[in-house]
Amino acid sequence: MDRELAASIAIIMAGLLIAGYTTLTTLPTRTSAEKSKGLLIVVTFPNLVYDVKQLVCESDQVVSLVPPGVDPHTYTLSLADVEKAEKADIVISTGHAPFEIRLREYISPEKLIEIPRIPGIRIENIIGTSSPNLHMPIYDPHNYIVFIKFVAERLAKLRPQCKQHYLTSARIVENKVAEIMESSPRLEVSGVGSTPLTQYAVGWLGIRLRALMLVSPEAGITAQSYERLKTLMASHSISVAVVTSLSMNGCKPAGKADEKVLTLANTYHVPVICVPAPFTAAPIPDKLEHIALQAKKLYPLMVSR
């Protein structure tokens, strides 16, 4: 009897282990009935919620894996995140933060949209390096239009009854961005930036960044980069400094690199453009409009030089 009992217990334990493995590897997916009531769209960064919400149809849901106020670059992927992403109809990722790299292991390629891999998205190298700049390339308006159209077309395939809504909404966003670009001046000047993000945010205005205060979060701010920017600003070899801001009301440095660039710019009387940080609660067209407004104010100064 002892042997029979032991064998029974072994069978039960094996069954529990198999069940547990199945739960972890075969996560829940949405039924056709659930999809007909609206799509579940999961994004990795909270700021992407505002961009995708410009397109959604009635009953669609857009949720972020990373909570607002949390740095996505230090975020750790949880089992709950994986379950949420697996249940989603579509997952949109910036494709570069460590937790996003891990997410690839759990999400099928058909469901996952990684922004840098969208056909037509132009990826530049980080200023002064040969490394691709994956820091929010959709801050470039050309890339943003490609992104919006691609997402709208994917949503239209997933929910055909809302196809016209998705595509029309995308055209409205596209027209708004095109209007911002057409009405904005081309400054055609050299500048310096605080972080790689600034590169995409102002390049479309004809601002060619020559150096960055912070090339990568891992490397931190080096004495060499600080002295490089200081020299460029002190000699007035550049015409503008670009920093990221926590707000669209005033210029509130988003990090140490922004603080240092802003301090140097004030010291050497270099004009500043403040780029709203990605996690600012607004879609990118609103942020581009804010940047364009600053460029318009600076344009007479740049022309007179």
Mean pLDDT of 188-208: 97
Mean pLDDT of 151-179: 98
Domains in the chain: boundaries: 32-181, 185-304
Class of residue 136 by CB neighbours under 10 A (exposed 0-12, middle 13-18, buried 19+): buried
d(CA 32, CA 27): 16
Task: Indicate the CATH number for domain 185-304.
Answer: 3.40.50.1980
Mean pLDDT of 77-100: 96
- pLDDT (0 to 100) of residue 69: 85
Task: Give the pLDDT confidence of 209-221 residue by residue, as tens digits.
Answer: 999 999 987 789 9
What's the token pair of residue 272? Answer: 């500043």
Residue 242 pairs in a beta bridge with 193, 273
- pLDDT (0 to 100) of residue 26: 38
- pLDDT (0 to 100) of residue 302: 80
d(CA 272, CA 227): 18
Choice among 48-52, 72-76, 86-90, 114-118 with the minimum mean pLDDT: 72-76
d(CA 268, CA 281): 32
Share the mean pLDDT of the chain. 89
Query: Right CATH number for 32-181 from 1.10.1040.10, 3.20.20.140, 3.40.50.2300, 3.40.50.1980?
Result: 3.40.50.1980
Q: How far is CA 52 from the centre of its chain?
A: 12
| This prediction's pTM | 0.87
What percentage of residues in the chain have a pLDDT greater than 90?
A: 80
pLDDT band at 183 (very low <50, low <70, confident <90, very high): very high
d(CA 235, CA 111): 51
What's the token pair of residue 270? Answer: 């270099």
Number of Cβ atoms within 10 Å of the Cβ of 54: 18
Number of Cβ atoms within 10 Å of the Cβ of 9: 10
Task: Give the pLDDT confidence of 225-256 residue by residue, as tens digits.
Answer: 999 999 999 999 999 999 999 999 889 999 99
Q: How far is CA 4 from the centre of its chain?
A: 59
Q: Do domains 32-181 and 185-304 have the same CATH topology?
A: yes
What's the token pair of residue 230? Answer: 């200081």
d(CA 9, CA 281): 55
